[in-house]
């Protein structure tokens, strides 16, 4: 018996499989059915069809871009997703390695693998601080390093940029700045927003099984502050996509979806998947303000995302780097 082992094939195994036909009769030695032999059994039942939201042209382009990045950077793993923020519809999605890679991956990395999101989490921290009334863009702090909670928080530029504003902290992607922002919010408020944005619990994307929900011990002031810039907390790709819809979609958080509809073998639709709002973690005004600062990452003279300008479009974004966690702490470099 052929059984789906992974991904959509596993999730929809029963619907896709259908049922074999069966014919029972008594035949003579030449194979002819005996005239007084009743024919028993049942007809074949073809399986259902799963229709995806993927756009073939965009998917093809994404695969080419990811192949190129894979070739030049030689990463151990990679995911890439294009999604319609207003609905949660996944237009294209891919991962490396795949099942045909030199060292094949037998997991759906979009939902089963978790990682530390690094500085991309600053978007969520910023939105939370704005929404809770704990963000003053014009206040200043000393960048570079900050000793707190029995440890040290360091910016990617360890010597820092002197005293800078919290607005600039976002543009420059300052860890120290976001540790201050988390402290101003308070750990309990920050954790409340992490949960409101859907972290640490499954997204339940229809068609994707075996989801890893992510973890954080969230103990002590240092680790609590670290989570504001994406360390000491793990997430899956679909959780990040879902959380970002709230920022892109004026506070409305949409569940990602990749299955558009299910039809039976005769073409009749038996299930339609519609866009589903799964929360409103921030107000419309907080989302708009967050996007304004995300544009600064691309267009401000100190922004870390200036390479991502696209002619003819206004881009909002956030760069992110993270140290890689291993069994013996963080990797060097």
Average pLDDT of 223-240? 97
pLDDT of residue 2: 84
Q: Which of 68, 119, 213, 284 is catalytic?
A: 119
pLDDT score of 237 more than 80:
yes
Confidence tier at 203 by pLDDT (50, 70, 90): very high
Q: How many residues does the chain have?
A: 333
Average pLDDT of 228-250? 98
pLDDT score of 265 more than 70:
yes
Question: Is 119 a known active-site residue?
Answer: yes
pLDDT of residue 326: 76
Average of per-residue pLDDT values in the chain? 95
pLDDT of residue 333: 64
Max distance between CA atoms of the chain, in angstroms, equals: 98
Percent of the chain with pLDDT over 90: 84
Average pLDDT of 25-51? 87
Model pTM above 0.85:
yes
pLDDT of residue 32: 87
pLDDT in tens, 284-309: 999 999 999 999 999 999 999 999 99
CA–CA distance, 328 with 240 (Å, rounded to integer): 26
CA–CA distance, 63 with 83 (Å, rounded to integer): 15
Confidence tier at 42 by pLDDT (50, 70, 90): confident
């Amino acid at each position: 018996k052929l059984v789906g082992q992974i991904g959509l094939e596993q999730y929809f195994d029963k619907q896709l499989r259908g049922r074999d036909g069966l014919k029972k009769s008594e035949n003579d030695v030449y194979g002819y059915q005996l005239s007084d032999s009743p024919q028993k059994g049942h007809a074949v039942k073809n399986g259902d069809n799963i229709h995806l939201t993927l756009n073939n042209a965009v998917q093809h382009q994404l695969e080419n871009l990811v192949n190129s990045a894979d070739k030049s950077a030689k990463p151990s793993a990679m995911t890439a997703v294009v999604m319609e923020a207003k609905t949660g519809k996944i237009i294209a999605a891919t991962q490396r390695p795949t099942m045909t890679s030199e060292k094949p991956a037998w997991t759906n990395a979009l939902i089963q693998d978790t990682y530390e999101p690094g500085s991309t989490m600053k978007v969520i921290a910023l939105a939370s601080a704005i929404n809770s009334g704990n963000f003053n863009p014009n206040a200043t702090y000393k960048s570079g390093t900050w000793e707190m909670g029995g440890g040290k928080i360091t910016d990617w530029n360890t010597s820092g940029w002197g005293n800078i504003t919290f607005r600039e902290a976002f543009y420059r992607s300052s860890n120290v700045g976001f540790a201050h922002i988390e402290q101003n919010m308070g750990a309990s408020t920050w954790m409340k927003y992490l949960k409101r944005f859907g972290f640490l619990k499954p997204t339940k994307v229809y068609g994707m099984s075996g989801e890893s929900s992510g973890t954080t011990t969230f103990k002590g002031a240092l680790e609590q502050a670290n989570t504001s810039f994406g360390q000491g907390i793990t997430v899956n790709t679909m959780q990040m996509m879902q959380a970002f819809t709230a920022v892109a979609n004026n506070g409305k958080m949409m569940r990602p979806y990749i299955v558009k509809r299910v039809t039976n073998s005769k073409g009749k639709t038996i299930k339609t998947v519609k866009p589903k709002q799964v929360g409103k973690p921030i107000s419309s005004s907080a989302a708009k303000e967050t996007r304004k600062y995300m544009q600064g990452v691309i267009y401000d003279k100190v922004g870390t995302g200036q390479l991502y300008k696209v002619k003819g479009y206004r881009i909002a974004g956030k760069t992110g780097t993270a140290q890689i966690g291993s069994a013996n702490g963080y990797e060097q470099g």
